[in-house]
Structure 1
Amino acid sequence: MTVHKKMKEWIYENRYKDPKDLEGYPDHPKLVEQQLEKKPPHWFIPILMGRGNKYTSLSFRSDNLYLSAFTNAKGELFSFKLENPLEFVVPGSRVLNFKSNYGDLVADGRAEGEQSWQYLADLRIDYDAVQDSVDVVSEYDPQTTPDRRIKRAVATLIVVFMESQRFPCIRQAVRDAWMSGGGKVKLGQRGAQLVVNWKRISCAVRIWDSMEDKGKWDSTEAKKLKQEPPAGLRIATPEEALCTIWPIVMGRCSY
């Protein structure tokens, strides 16, 4: 779990350091503002080891923690089809024919945005699944590796190593799965729904924090979160929201 610890330290060190921002909640770092058309202020590039000599490196942006690129064991660098043609592309990378969103990675285009949670729920997060995924990415060859195979592997690594930073309950689930010593463990419905609602939870917290009346939890985002699953997440208070996420992303909100 050393990678998880280093990721957490890196996220906190590269947070938005305005002391007035969420000043009552210093343990919840807010990321710097996203500028997707530019190179991020910092990269986090962990090297993940698979079985034998297999390995991969992943390139995560500091402004949204999204995966921008990965390498195979040959050192070939791959990035993803852009959501917007103006987005920054990692120099020297080969752009693949699929995007890095979960609708593409796990739903094969059958679902978009929040609806992709239905396909994420069955994603395995146990140690063997991670080792399998690293092996797939390490051996990746765009000419011979089926798209579905590489996409599933990439999604697994994103969830296990970065969604586990965004959501403490996913981090605990991953830790428990790895410490148990075996068995197939899936992300599950709650974890999957959290993953596709990071921006909404972040916005709800940011809007609430900007209000003079801290007793209100009634923004458009908060009202959606209060609904019962699967429409919402049953997050009825700002305190519950703060317990649900760790870093807060700077996305476009309803206010």
Structure 2
Amino acid sequence: MHYYAEMALLFLLLAVPTSPGAAFDVDPLKPGQAWQYPKDHKVVNVREANSISSYKAMISEVHSFGVRASKYKEKGLPILARQTSTPKPDRWLMLELRGDGQDEIMLAIRNDNLYIEAFANSSGKWHTFAIIRNLIPGATILPFKDSYRGLVNGHANLGTLVLGKETTLRALHELAVYKQSVGADTGCVSRALAIMAVTFCEATRLKPIQASIQPKWLSGGATIEKPLYVVRWSDMSCAVLVARQKKGRYDGPEADKLKNELGMSSLNEVVGALSLILWPKDSSCDSGPITWPRA
């Protein structure tokens, strides 16, 4: 099959807008569901993602959602919508993932930073974090924080995650069947959320993460060699934005961190690692305020 025809078919099969599954109640006229709007709703059948190009297609679809509200680019990279401090973003990506049997979940992903803020299990029950406990009426509050420290006891432990299609399916199953109870072991579900965040969100933000997972999507065994990339996405983004204001100079606190911790000696190396640029909260970086772009 011709490459472009194959890719078109993959998008049709794996990640197209569709009506929500029966388990997910998303009637905007119901007060308890109004938090979900506005949104994009995408469906991905992970079990049917049977090629490396199918994984690439999934990431491209998440990327397309992120850049939908993008008004600016720098160095050819889309800048996400301005990051807000509110629990509800300007727009959600409701990413519906289907796995084996009846396994089906929904991830609520922000458009301004691609963070996962909540998930619904196969019965449609929403689970979210304490920091936004009032956003979703009736949601179960997860007993861990919405950070990699809360999910896997620190970003360094992202390097212990074994990634690929089968791992993603197992993580999907853990979330699909999760029902919180007193004394239950929550380690599996927190780790499952970390796998989803890395596989879909970090891989969309950062080229090295996608490059680690994509070749081993089918065979499995992918690992993140430099987990620090994940927590330095904001600094990478700021370095690019600040350089624009400094006539291309690569210096300041962000650049120092990237040089010392990741060995990124030039702005070109930073640009080469990014797929999306984060617009920081309050347009503020360690180097000072970002005077462009403007909301």
Same fold (TM over 0.5): yes
What TM-score does the superposition give when structure 2 sets the normalisation length? Answer: 0.73
Q: Distance in 1 between matches of 2:180 and 2:250?
A: 48
Aligned positions of 1:94-133 closer than 5 A? 94-107=140-153, 116-133=154-171
Structure 1 equivalent of residue 187 of structure 2: 148
How far has the Cα of 1:7 moved from its partner?
A: 0.7
Structure 1 equivalent of residue 222 of structure 2: 185
How far has the Cα of 1:185 moved from its partner?
A: 2.3
Structure 1 equivalent of residue 239 of structure 2: 204
Structure 2 equivalent of residue 43 of structure 1: 92
How far has the Cα of 1:134 moved from its partner?
A: 0.2
Q: Distance in 1 between matches of 2:209 and 2:87?
A: 30
Equivalent pairs counted in the alignment come to: 228
Aligned with residue 161 of structure 1, among 196, 200, 208: 200
What TM-score does the superposition give when structure 1 sets the normalisation length? Answer: 0.84
Aligned with residue 235 of structure 1, among 244, 248, 264: 264
Q: Distance in 2 between matches of 1:170 and 1:162?
A: 10
Structure 2 equivalent of residue 172 of structure 1: 211
How far has the Cα of 1:90 moved from its partner?
A: 3.2
Q: Distance in 2 between matches of 1:149 and 1:38?
A: 26
Are the structure 2 counterparts of residues 90 and 248 from structure 1 closer, same or farther at C-alpha, using a change threshold of 3 Å? farther
Q: Distance in 2 between matches of 1:209 and 1:88?
A: 38
Structure 1 residues 98-144: Cα deviation after superposition (integer angstroms, max 9, x where no partner): 1120000001xxxxxxxx23211111211111111000000001117
Structure 1 residues 157-180: Cα deviation after superposition (integer angstroms, max 9, x where no partner): 0100000001112112221111xx
C-alpha contact (below 8 Å) 1:77/1:94 kept by paired residues:
yes
Q: Secondary structure of 1:45's partner?
A: strand
C-alpha contact (below 8 Å) 1:225/1:233 kept by paired residues:
yes
1:74 lines up with 2:123 in the alignment: yes
Structure 1 equivalent of residue 65 of structure 2: 10
Larger radius of gyration: 2
Bigger share in strand = 2
Which segments of 5 or more consecutive residues in structure 1 lack a partner in the other structure? 108-115
Q: Secondary structure of 1:44's partner?
A: strand
Q: Distance in 1 between matches of 2:202 and 2:78?
A: 15
How far has the Cα of 1:66 moved from its partner?
A: 0.7
The amino acid that maps onto 2:82 is: E
C-alpha contact (below 8 Å) 1:39/1:88 kept by paired residues:
no
Which segments of 5 or more consecutive residues in structure 2 lack a partner in the other structure? 1-54, 289-295
The amino acid that maps onto 1:253 is: C
Aligned-residue CA RMSD in angstroms?
1.8
Are the structure 2 counterparts of residues 147 and 224 from structure 1 closer, same or farther at C-alpha, using a change threshold of 3 Å? same
Q: Distance in 2 between matches of 1:95 and 1:226?
A: 39
Structure 1 residues 36-87: Cα deviation after superposition (integer angstroms, max 9, x where no partner): 32521111111112211211110100111111110100100011121xx7x8
Are the structure 2 counterparts of residues 76 and 185 from structure 1 closer, same or farther at C-alpha, using a change threshold of 3 Å? same
**Percent identity over paired residues:** 26
